[in-house]
């Protein structure tokens, strides 16, 4: 988990995270909300029958990102991360 990155969910595809220990992560795009996650919440709140289908709409822009590991390693709590936006990576 990371914090302090404004609009994390909206980072453009191809943006990269570089961690202190050399780990590199490449952003693919937003982690789209789905009814599977809504169903998991529904199980926790059975008295609210609308969660499964309403969750995806309410979670847009709040679910984080999908990314892949470019350079593996260990990321430690409190470690600094540098974010390079996709347009910065190309230049």
Alpha carbon 30 to its chain's center: 6
Is pTM beyond 0.85 here? Answer: no
**Contacts of residue 16, Cβ cutoff 8 Å, sequence gap at least 6:** 24, 25, 26, 27, 70, 83, 84, 89
Report the range of poorest mean pLDDT among 18-32, 48-62, 74-88. Answer: 48-62
Phi first, then psi, for residue 58 (nearest 5°) are: -80, -20
Residue 70 has pLDDT above 70, yes or no: yes
Which pLDDT band holds residue 88 (cuts at 50, 70, 90)?
A: low
Higher pLDDT, 4 or 20: 20
Fold of 8-90: M1 Pyruvate Kinase; Domain 3 (2.40.33)
Residue 71 is predicted with a pLDDT of 97
């Amino acid at each position: 988990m990371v914090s302090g990155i404004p609009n994390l969910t909206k980072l453009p595809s191809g943006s990269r995270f570089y961690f202190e220990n050399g780990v590199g992560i490449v952003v693919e795009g937003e982690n789209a909300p789905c009814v599977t996650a809504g169903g998991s919440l529904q199980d926790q709140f059975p008295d609210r029958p609308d969660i499964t289908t309403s969750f995806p709409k309410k979670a847009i822009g709040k679910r984080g990102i999908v990314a892949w590991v470019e350079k593996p390693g260990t990321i430690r709590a409190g470690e600094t991360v540098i974010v390079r936006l996709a347009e910065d990576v190309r230049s």
